[in-house]
Amino acid sequence: MAASPVLTFTDRGIYCPAGDFHIDPWRPVDRAIVTHAHSDHARPGMARHVATPRTVAAMRHRLGPIEAHALPYGEALTIGGARVSLHPAGHVPGSAQVRVEVGGEVWVVSGDYKTTDDGLSEPFEPVACHAFISECTFGLPVFRWRPEAEIRAEIAEWWAQCRAGGRTAVIGAYSLGKAQRVLAALDPGAGPILTHGAVEEMCRVLRETGVPLPPTTRVTPEITRKSHPGAIVVAPPSALGSPWARRFGPASQAFASGWMRLRGIRRRRAVDRGFVMSDHADWDGLNAAIGATGAERIFVTHGYTQPFRRWLETRGYDAGIVTTDWQGEETGAETTTEDGA
C-alpha cells in the first residue's frame, strides 16, 4: 500500500508530516496526540501532548507533570497543515479516536475501542473517513461479548456466593477502565468494596473528572478479611496470588478480561472464576465499526492482524497491517506492595 500524504508509519509511531506530530508514539517525540492513558499508548518522554481532558488527567497521574493541551471531543485543532479532532472511542473514560484531515483527505486512528456502551466510557462514535487504522485485538469470530447487564449480574452473583460461603471475593482488573466497570457492577449495600491502592488512585482521578463510581475503601495494612467480612476486593491482576492478597483468605479469586473467553488462558491464570469483560471491540463490533466509517482503506494493528486482514480483503477492502508497540490489553505489570500503594 502506498504512503499517504496524511499519515505515515515510522519507527517512533504513526506520523503526520503535514502537522509534524505523532499519534500514540512509543519513542520520545516533540508532539504526541494520545488516544488514551494506558501505558502502551501513553509513553513517557514526549515533549508535548494533546488528549482529551480525562486522558490528560489520567496521564498526569501516571506520568507526572507533563505539558499537555486538553482537547474536548469534536473540537478541531489546526497543527501546521493538518486539522485534528478527537472523537469518543468507548474504550475507557476519556479514550478517543484521532481524526486527521489534510487537503480534504481524512484518516482516522482508532486507538483502542469498543462499540458497546459500558455506562462509564463515552460511547463510541463512528467517524467518516477515507482510511481507518483499526485495532483488532480480538479479531476472530470466537470473540463475541455478552451484554453489559449480563456481565454485571454474573459478577454480583459470584460476590453473593462468596459472602454466603464465608470467602472474600478478590477480582483482578486493570486499574484504568476495567476496574471501574467492575465497581459499577457492585451494590454498595451488599458489603464492603475494597480497592488496591493503584485502583483507588485511578478511581480518585476519574471521580474528579465526573465519572460516577460507588464508594470504596482503599486497602491499608490493618484491613483484612476479619476487619471487613463479606468484602469484595478489586485489584490489579498482578496482585492476584500475592502476599498482599493472601491477607483476605479464604478467598475466591477471579479475573475480568476478554481473554477469559479462551479456556487455556483461564487455566494459566489459575483463578476460580473468569469473567469475559473486555474494553475492546469483539468480532461483530470490529466489523460494524469499520463498515460505519465508509473507508475503503483499512490498516489493522495489534491482535489477530493476519487473519483479520485476510477477512477484510474478502470483503473488498484495501487492507494492510501496521506494526506497532501497542499490546491491546494492558500487561497488568502494575506495582503491588504490602500497603496497596
CA-based end-to-end distance of the chain: 47
Helix, strand, or coil (residue 48): strand
The grid cell for 140 is: 476472530
> In the prediction, which pLDDT does 264 show?
77
At residue 202, does pLDDT exceed 60? Answer: yes
The residues pairing with 28 across neighbouring beta strands, listed in sequence order, are none
**Residue 168's pLDDT band (cuts 50, 70, 90):** very high
Determine which helix (DSSP H) or strand (DSSP E) holds 193, and give its type and residue range.
strand 193-195
| Nearest partner of 293 among 115, 46, 27, judged by Cα | 115
Average pLDDT of the chain to the nearest whole number: 93
- 101 residue type, one letter: E
> In the prediction, which pLDDT does 165 show?
96
Report yes or no: 133 and 89 within 8 Å, Cβ to Cβ: no
> In the prediction, which pLDDT does 328 show?
60
What are 18-73's pLDDT values in tens digits?
999 999 999 999 999 999 999 999 999 999 999 999 999 999 999 999 999 999 99
At residue 177, does pLDDT exceed 80? Answer: yes
Report yes or no: 39 and 55 within 8 Å, Cβ to Cβ: no
b/e burial code for range 264-284 (CB count within 10 A of at least 16 → b): eebeebebbbbbbbbbbbbbe
What are 282-337's pLDDT values in tens digits?
999 999 999 999 999 999 999 999 999 999 999 999 999 998 887 765 443 343 33
Q: What is the mean predicted confidence (pLDDT) over 166-181? A: 96
Question: Mind listing the domains of the chain with CATH numbers?
Answer: 8-142+280-321 (3.60.15.10), 148-275 (3.40.50.10710)
Q: What angle do CA 264, 259, 23 make, to 5 degrees?
A: 140
The strand ranges marked E within 13-161 are: 14-16, 21-23, 31-33, 48-51, 68-70, 77-79, 82-88, 96-102, 105-109, 131-136
The grid cell for 244 is: 498482599
